[in-house]
Structure 1
Amino acid sequence: MPRPTSDVQAFEAHATDADLDDLRARLDAARLPEAETVSRAASGPHRWAQGVPLADLVDVVHYWRTAYDWRAFESRLNRIGQFRTTIDELGIHFLHRRSARTDATPLLLTHGWPGSVAEFIDGVDELADPHDADAPAFHVVVPSLPGFGYSDKPATTGWGIEKIAAAWVELMGRLGYSKFAAHGGDWGGPITTVLGGRFPEHVLGIHTTTAQAPPGLTTDGLTTAERKWTEDTRDFWNRRAAFAKLQAAQPQTIGYSLVDSPVGLLAWILDKFAEWTDTEDSPFETISRDRILDNVTLYWLTRSGASSARIYYESHLSLDPELKVDVPSAIVVYPHDIEKCPRPWAQERYRQIVRWKAAGSGGHFPSLEVPEYFVKDLQEGLAAVLAARR
């Protein structure tokens, strides 16, 4: 395996004590609105009808200020291995965990919004050196999207999904991986789709939780369950996607609040984790407060509330409707995800689906909600992808 080029530099995360003290001071001085006017029952999704309930936010803010340990997450990132390189004049941050196995395949994992590299840290070790000797092993690379985390913030327009995909090919090449597999969800889904469609000479195959059907397809011939998927997805985009439309139109405006107020940032992100996870009431039924706060604090310390929102300005509804993916593809649909694509629709774009799976539980953040299932499905899906290449 070729060695990384000298353009790749080791990186360590280390927030200053002053930044952490400032965060706690801002949390302590936060001005909060009055409670929501909908039902304040002990539990149930209706509590969240107007957004994050005041009592829930107060509880998380208190924990964030008095008990949460950023240093533990920071050390975890550093132990995995962090690096940066400059591509098209933009610094790109990434995690890189090489496997000890000689038969390991390079694997690129791409997160979305409001996620980060924090989505994948619990699965990196198992993907690199699986306990099951028969499971595939991977050299795992997890980049931070431009404008997210420790990647630089673009100073000009143009960093949409097509440019990001091309940058990922360049990144993998610099690590000595001329051919690799790729996975992505949320924004990582369309980026991974572009990788498979535009760069088949480099991409061995893909795995995604966010399959992207071409526009304009009819529901004729779909099963009752598949029609329900399309109705749920249409309902999401018509009635529950104000955040996407706002960030696509005016990311700078919302960005002032997200960069200036940690409570505002927390509420903006927590609302999505609550609605998009497979839970009865709170996202903390399946995801720990610490892991969600790892993600939110990463946004806060890197001041990436505005810069991360701009991916919607750059790329909302921008996937080429004619793009076809001919590399082997594994697709999984989680029941509480915000977009669920029927297989007949997916087949119009992904023309070599080698594995299709409908999971029994989980939502938009499966690597955090059902981490063991997510890793096993990723292993099995990519095993099918790699087998199709032989």
Structure 2
Amino acid sequence: MDIEPFRISVSDDVLADLRERLRRTRFTTASDATYWAAGVDPGYLRELVGYWADGFDWRAAETWLNSFPHFKAGGVHFVHLRGDRAGGLPLILTHGWPSSFVEMLRVAPLLTDEFDVVIPSLPGFLFSDLPAGVFTRRGVAETWHTLMTRTLGYERFGAFGGDIGGGVTQWLGALYPDEVAGVHVTSAVIPDVPDPTAEEQAYLDHLAAYDVRDQGYSEIMWSRPDTLAAALNDSPAGLVAWIADKYRDWSDCGGDLERSWDKDTLLTIATLYWATGTIGSSFRQYYDYPNNRPVPPILAPGAVTLSNEPAFTGYPRSLAERLFADLRHYRVPGRGGHFMAHEEPAQVSEELHRFFASLR
């Protein structure tokens, strides 16, 4: 499969249209006097949109993004950083939703002392094509296996991810234990549990209660993705509101979004989604979610560094032990949320170095 160098280049016309739309945004009023109680605070959104229209320097962001080596092969966009050490272990890092390859760019340079780093964009996200069939985590794992072994020529590699990326990483460890040296996830593994312990049942009850409060976003994306996409693909203010809402909720930021995501980083990601028109195709993994099957036992050595977010409060290690046949590393650091690689890059680097060093 041919590997082609790739460069991010958003046209002046697209940027001019974006700024015009931002300046014409019709803002709403808050439904609740409590800050962010009913979703993105309209005052904060007005400030963010104003900066996006008249302060944010996309060209500087684009230059920074292009300082990393980008490629495309077989419809997959990826960043590929060669490590400093000959024979270093290849490591594939997979993001989730509503994220992007940008999530991994802070940690990637901290890994090249020991690893070749590959950061793909999930299918349908930004510069990666949607699959011809349904979007499943297993299907992405099979695509990643092809990318790493056939396209890039690695005989053995490690894998890391959270959220959707965590599911893909689990499948890599289950399907390819002979070629995958180890798998490291930050999203807790939640397998089918036919006979939960009291501790496990308490956690599952907590998760069900949390989902009632949190799952509104996913309900519409798996049931009516095209309706929502029509709005977000036409309104950049709506697009960034939809993304920022989840970044604030799921990051370990104490309610202060910009503790984890400064405006420039947030708007870099929003501009990428806008310029590629892929917020709708990023919903495909929700619409196709019923096609996913439970992950079989993961035979590759496994590691969990548990993210600090409400969904995983009280998560018992025993749930991970039910799925990982060889769980070598388990840690609850108490910091770093859903997007841990971006929020706590030094922590993630240390965890990855420690885990994979133990496998040598």
TM-score, length basis structure 1: 0.87
Match for 2:264 among 275, 290, 313?
290
The letter for the 2-side match of 1:77 is: L
1:122-153 Cα deviation digits (max 9, x unpaired)? 11111113xxxxxxx11000110110011123
- Kindly state the Cα deviation for residue 228 of structure 1 after the two structures are TM-superposed: 6.2
- Give 1:15-34 correspondences, 5 Å limit: 15-33=10-28
Q: Is the 8 A contact 1:212 1:349 kept in 2?
A: yes
Which residue is equivalent to 2:289?
315
Against the structure 1 CA distance between its residues 231 and 376, is the aligned structure 2 distance closer, same or farther, given a 3 Å change threshold?
farther
- Give 1:1-390 correspondences, 5 Å limit: 7-33=2-28, 35-40=29-34, 47-86=35-74, 91-129=75-113, 137-154=114-131, 156-173=132-149, 174-222=151-199, 229-315=203-289, 318-320=292-294, 323-336=296-309, 338-339=311-312, 341-384=315-358, 386-387=359-360
The letter for the 2-side match of 1:181 is: G
Between the aligned partners of 1:127 and 1:370, the Cα distance in structure 2 is 14
Q: Is the 8 A contact 2:136 2:288 kept in 1?
A: yes
Q: Is the 8 A contact 1:217 1:345 kept in 2?
A: no
Q: Is the 8 A contact 2:302 2:327 kept in 1?
A: yes
Equivalent pairs counted in the alignment come to 358
Q: Is the 8 A contact 2:4 2:71 kept in 1?
A: yes
Identity %: 35
- Kindly state the Cα deviation for residue 266 of structure 1 after the two structures are TM-superposed: 0.5
Between the aligned partners of 1:117 and 1:180, the Cα distance in structure 2 is 19
Q: Is the 8 A contact 1:98 1:139 kept in 2?
A: yes
Between the aligned partners of 1:201 and 1:71, the Cα distance in structure 2 is 43
Between the aligned partners of 1:236 and 1:317, the Cα distance in structure 2 is 24
Between the aligned partners of 1:379 and 1:76, the Cα distance in structure 2 is 26
Between the aligned partners of 2:206 and 2:240, the Cα distance in structure 1 is 26
Q: Tell me, which stretches of 5 or more residues in structure 1 are unaligned?
A: 41-46, 130-136
Between the aligned partners of 2:81 and 2:220, the Cα distance in structure 1 is 36
Against the structure 1 CA distance between its residues 260 and 205, is the aligned structure 2 distance closer, same or farther, given a 3 Å change threshold?
same
Between the aligned partners of 1:338 and 1:18, the Cα distance in structure 2 is 41
Over aligned residue pairs, what C-alpha RMSD do you find?
1.8
Q: Is the 8 A contact 1:165 1:194 kept in 2?
A: yes
- Kindly state the Cα deviation for residue 251 of structure 1 after the two structures are TM-superposed: 1.4
Q: Is the 8 A contact 1:206 1:382 kept in 2?
A: no
The letter for the 2-side match of 1:172 is: M
The letter for the 2-side match of 1:150 is: F
Against the structure 1 CA distance between its residues 315 and 199, is the aligned structure 2 distance closer, same or farther, given a 3 Å change threshold?
farther
SS of residue in 1 equivalent to 2:139: helix
- Kindly state the Cα deviation for residue 164 of structure 1 after the two structures are TM-superposed: 0.9
Between the aligned partners of 1:263 and 1:355, the Cα distance in structure 2 is 42
- Could you list the runs of 4 or more consecutive aligned residues of structure 1 that deviate by over 4 angstroms after TM superposition? 226-229
- Kindly state the Cα deviation for residue 181 of structure 1 after the two structures are TM-superposed: 0.1
- Kindly state the Cα deviation for residue 227 of structure 1 after the two structures are TM-superposed: 6.5
Q: Tell me, which stretches of 5 or more residues in structure 2 are unaligned?
A: none
Between the aligned partners of 1:37 and 1:312, the Cα distance in structure 2 is 28
SS of residue in 2 equivalent to 1:275: helix
SS of residue in 2 equivalent to 1:128: coil
The letter for the 2-side match of 1:140 is: V
1:313-369 Cα deviation digits (max 9, x unpaired)? 122582425x11011001011222534642111111111110000012221111222
Between the aligned partners of 1:26 and 1:319, the Cα distance in structure 2 is 41
Between the aligned partners of 1:105 and 1:204, the Cα distance in structure 2 is 9
Q: Is the 8 A contact 2:173 2:182 kept in 1?
A: yes
Moved more, 358-367 or 265-274: 358-367
SS of residue in 1 equivalent to 2:322: coil
The letter for the 2-side match of 1:330 is: A
- Kindly state the Cα deviation for residue 275 of structure 1 after the two structures are TM-superposed: 0.9
Between the aligned partners of 2:260 and 2:97, the Cα distance in structure 1 is 19
Against the structure 1 CA distance between its residues 63 and 299, is the aligned structure 2 distance closer, same or farther, given a 3 Å change threshold?
same
Q: Is the 8 A contact 2:134 2:291 kept in 1?
A: no
